[in-house]
C-alpha cells in the first residue's frame, strides 16, 4: 500500500486519509458525522518541539510553555499538556477551573486578560496562580484583597511596546489595510509606559504583593519571523526602560505571549486576497454588461465564473524552531545590550494556534450535490457540518486546507462551492477543486485543533458534534455529541406561556 506523509500526524495510505494510525473516514462510521478529531500524539510532539527549541536558545534560565487554554480548553487536552510539563495561560474563570481540574500546579498558571472582575482576581490569589496586571482598576482590587482580606499575590505587568520597526498590513483586519503597529496599539491588551509607572511603584509598596516580571502578547498580526524580531526588540527595550525607571528592578520571569502561526496557517489565509478581488471584478463587469441585455451578459459571466477559484493557503508558516531561534536570539541579545540580566530568568510563552492548530481535523459527510447549469454554471456540495462550528475561524476569515478523506489522492476534476447545513449561505470552502464527489464522501478540514471546536454555536438549534481523541491507533470520545435535549436545557418557559393541554382533554379531565 502506498503511503504519502502530509505531516507528522496525517498521511495518505492506499488513497485514504489517516490521522496517526486511524483511517479518517472509518472514524465517521464508528463515531458518527460530523466529528472533531484531535491527535494526542501530535499535541505531545508540539509541546516537546516548543520546549526543546526555546530551551536551546535560552540557556540562562528555565523555559516554561504555558499554552493558551482558550485555543482548546477540553479537559483531556489540558490533561495531556500538563502531563507534558506545561503550565497554562488562562483568560476566564472557566479556563482557570479547567486548568486546576486538569491538575496544573497553580504556580504554573497565569491569569491574563481584561477586564478581570474582583471575584476572578480573588480566586486567582486564593488558588495561588500568577496574576497579569493589565489595568489600573485591577491594582485597586488587588489592594483591597491583599490589605483587607490578607491574600497574597504574585503579579507581573503586561507591557505594550510600540512595534515601530515592523509595518505591514495586519492579518487581524482581513477587510482592511491597517498597519501592524497601529493595530497592535489599538488592541485592548497591555499597559503604556505612563500607566506602568503609575502602577508599578504602588504594587511594589504593597506588603503581600510580589512583582515577578513582565508579560506581552501582541497577537498574530503576521506570521513572519521579522514580526517576532520586531516584537522582541521592542519588548526588550520596554523592559529595560521600566527596570531602569524602577531603580534597577530585576525580573525573574519574562513572558513573550503567543501569536505564532501554525504550519499550514489557515488563520492567516486571509492574506490571500484574490477571491474578493475576483468578486469585485465580477461585480463591476456584470454592471457594465447590463446594457447588453441578459443573454450576452450571462455568456460573459459564465466564462468569468468558470475562472474563479478559492485556494486554501499553501505557504507554510515558519517552523517552531525558526520562531524560537529568532525570539530567543533577539530577546537575549537586546536585553544584554541594554544591561538587563537574564541570569536565572524564566522565559515563558503562550502558544495557542501553533500548539493546537495541526493537532485537529474536522470530518463531515457530503449529503447533497446540486448543480445550476443555466444561465451560469454553479455547483454546490452540501455537508452535514456548518460554519457555526467553525466560528473561531470565521471571525478570522480562515480557509482550511482539506482532503476528501476516502479519495485523498484522487484527481481533482471539478470545482464546487462546499457549503454547510445552516440556513445562511454557509460557504465553508468557496469554489474549490475536488475529486468527483458522491453522497457519503467524507471531507476532512485540516488544522481545526485551535479555536474551532471551543467556539461552536447552536445556531438553527443544531446539537454540537463530538470530539474524538486519537492516541496511536486508539480512538476515544473526549467530548460527547450534544443531544437535542442539551440544546434546549437552558430554556425556561414562564408559567403564563406554558403549553396548555388541548381543551377537550382538559374538559375530559375535570
Task: List contacts with ligand PLP (CB under 6 A).
Answer: 68, 71, 89, 112, 217, 220, 257-260, 350-354
Closest to ligand PLP by CB, 34 or 259: 259
Q: Are 420 and 383 in contact (CB under 8 A)?
A: yes
Nine-digit cell at 358? Answer: 495541526
Closest CA to 363 of 475, 469, 445, 434: 445
Smallest separation (angstroms) from ligand PLP to the CB of 279: 28
Based on CB atoms, which residue is closest to ligand PLP, 33 or 225? 225
Cβ 41 to ligand PLP shortest distance, Å: 21
Minimal CB distance to ligand PLP: which residue? Answer: 352
Q: Give the pairing type, strands 130-133 and 414-419.
A: unpaired
Least gap, CB of 473 to ligand PLP (angstroms): 30
Closest to ligand PLP by CB, 171 or 384: 171
C-alpha cell at 201: 511603584
Give the residue with the Cβ less far from ligand PLP, 358 or 384: 358
Which residues does 166 contact at the CB level (< 8 Å), separation at least 6? Answer: 180, 181, 222, 224, 226, 227, 229, 230, 231
Radius of gyration of the chain (CA): 26
Would you say 220 or 362 has its CB closer to ligand PLP?
A: 220
Nearer to ligand PLP, 317 or 431 (CB): 317
Q: Are the beta carbons of 257 and 217 closer than 8 angstroms? A: yes
Rounded to 5 degrees, what are φ and ψ at 505? -65, -40
Least Cβ distance, residue 350 to ligand PLP (angstroms): 4
Nearer to ligand PLP, 22 or 264 (CB): 264
CB 71, min distance to ligand PLP, A? 5
Which of 181, 130, 177 shows the shortest CA–CA distance to 158?
130
Residue closer to ligand PLP, measured from CB, 18 or 228: 228
* Cell numbers linked to 389: 462550528
For the bound state, the minimum distance from the C-beta of residue 283 to ligand PLP, rounded and expressed in Å, comes to 33
What does the alpha-carbon distance between residue 24 and residue 32 come to, in Å, rounded to a whole number? 11
Residue 79 CB burial class (10 angstroms; 0-12, 13-18, ≥19): middle
List the Cα angle 167/168/169 in 5-degree steps. Answer: 135
CB 282 within 8 A of CB 305: yes
Pairing assessment for the beta strands 16-19 and 10-13 based on DSSP bridges = antiparallel
Compute the least distance from the CB of residue 10 to ligand PLP, in Å.
Answer: 21
- Peptide bond between residue 487 and the one before it cis (omega within 30 degrees of 0): no
Closest approach, Cβ 327 to ligand PLP, in A, equals 13
Cis amide prior to 422 (ω within 30 degrees): no
Sign of the Cα torsion 276, 277, 278, 283 reads positive
Nearer Cβ to ligand PLP, position 46 or 112? 112
Please report how close the Cβ of residue 87 comes to ligand PLP at its closest, in angstroms: 12
Under DSSP, the state recorded for 222 is -
- The full length of the chain comes to 510
Amino acid at each position: 500500500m502506498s503511503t504519502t506523509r502530509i505531516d507528522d500526524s496525517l498521511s495518505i495510505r492506499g488513497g485514504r486519509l489517516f490521522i496517526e494510525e486511524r483511517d479518517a473516514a472509518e472514524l465517521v462510521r464508528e463515531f458518527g458525522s460530523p466529528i472533531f478529531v484531535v491527535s494526542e500524539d501530535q499535541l505531545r510532539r508540539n509541546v516537546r518541539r516548543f520546549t526543546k527549541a526555546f530551551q536551546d536558545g535560552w540557556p540562562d534560565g528555565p523555559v516554561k510553555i504555558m499554552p493558551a487554554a482558550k485555543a482548546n480548553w477540553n479537559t483531556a487536552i489540558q490533561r495531556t499538556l500538563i502531563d507534558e510539563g506545561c503550565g497554562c495561560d488562562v483568560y476566564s474563570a472557566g479556563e482557570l477551573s479547567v486548568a486546576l481540574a486538569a491538575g496544573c500546579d497553580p504556580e504554573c498558571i497565569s491569569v491574563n486578560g481584561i477586564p478581570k472582575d474582583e471575584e476572578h482576581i480573588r480566586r486567582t490569589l486564593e488558588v495561588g496562580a500568577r496574576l497579569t496586571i493589565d489595568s489600573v482598576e485591577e491594582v485597586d482590587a488587588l489592594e483591597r484583597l491583599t490589605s483587607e482580606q490578607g491574600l497574597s499575590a504574585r503579579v507581573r505587568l503586561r507591557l505594550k511596546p510600540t512595534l515601530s520597526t515592523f509595518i505591514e498590513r495586519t492579518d487581524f483586519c482581513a477587510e482592511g489595510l491597517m498597519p501592524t503597529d497601529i493595530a497592535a496599539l489599538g488592541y485592548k491588551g497591555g499597559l503604556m509606559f505612563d500607566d506602568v509607572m503609575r502602577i508599578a511603584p504602588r504594587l511594589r509598596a504593597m506588603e503581600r504583593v510580589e512583582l515577578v516580571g513582565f508579560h506581552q502578547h501582541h497577537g498574530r498580526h503576521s506570521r513572519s519571523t521579522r514580526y517576532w524580531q520586531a516584537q522582541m526588540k521592542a519588548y526588550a527595550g520596554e523592559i529595560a526602560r521600566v527596570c531602569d525607571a524602577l531603580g534597577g528592578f530585576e525580573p525573574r520571569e519574562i513572558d513573550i505571549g503567543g501569536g505564532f502561526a501554525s504550519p499550514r496557517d489557515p488563520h492567516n489565509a486571509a492574506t490571500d486576497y484574490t477571491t474578493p478581488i475576483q468578486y469585485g471584478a465580477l461585480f463591476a463587469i456584470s454592471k457594465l454588461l447590463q446594457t447588453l441585455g441578459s443573454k450576452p451578459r450571462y455568456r460573459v459571466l459564465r466564462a468569468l465564473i468558470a475562472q474563479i477559484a478559492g485556494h486554501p493557503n499553501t505557504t507554510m508558516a515558519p517552523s517552531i524552531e525558526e520562531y524560537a531561534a529568532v525570539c530567543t536570539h533577539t530577546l537575549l541579545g537586546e536585553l544584554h545590550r541594554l544591561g538587563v540580566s537574564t541570569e536565572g530568568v524564566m522565559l515563558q510563552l503562550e502558544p495557542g494556534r501553533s500548539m493546537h492548530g495541526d493537532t485537529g481535523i474536522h470530518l463531515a459527510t457530503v449529503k447533497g450535490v446540486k448543480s445550476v447549469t443555466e444561465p451560469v454554471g454553479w455547483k454546490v456540495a452540501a455537508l452535514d457540518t456548518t460554519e457555526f462550528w467553525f466560528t473561531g475561524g470565521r471571525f478570522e476569515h480562515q480557509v482550511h486546507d482539506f482532503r476528501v478523506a476516502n479519495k485523498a489522492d484522487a484527481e481533482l476534476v471539478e470545482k464546487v462551492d462546499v457549503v454547510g447545513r445552516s440556513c445562511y449561505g454557509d460557504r465553508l470552502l468557496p469554489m474549490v477543486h475536488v475529486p468527483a464527489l458522491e453522497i457519503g464522501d467524507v471531507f476532512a478540514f485540516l488544522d481545526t485543533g485551535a479555536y474551532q471546536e471551543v467556539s461552536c454555536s447552536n445556531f438553527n438549534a443544531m446539537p454540537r458534534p463530538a470530539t474524538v481523541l486519537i492516541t496511536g491507533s486508539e480512538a476515544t470520545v473526549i467530548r460527547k455529541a450534544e443531544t437535542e435535549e442539551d440544546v434546549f436545557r437552558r430554556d425556561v418557559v414562564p408559567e403564563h406561556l406554558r403549553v396548555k393541554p388541548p381543551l377537550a382533554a382538559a374538559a375530559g379531565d375535570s
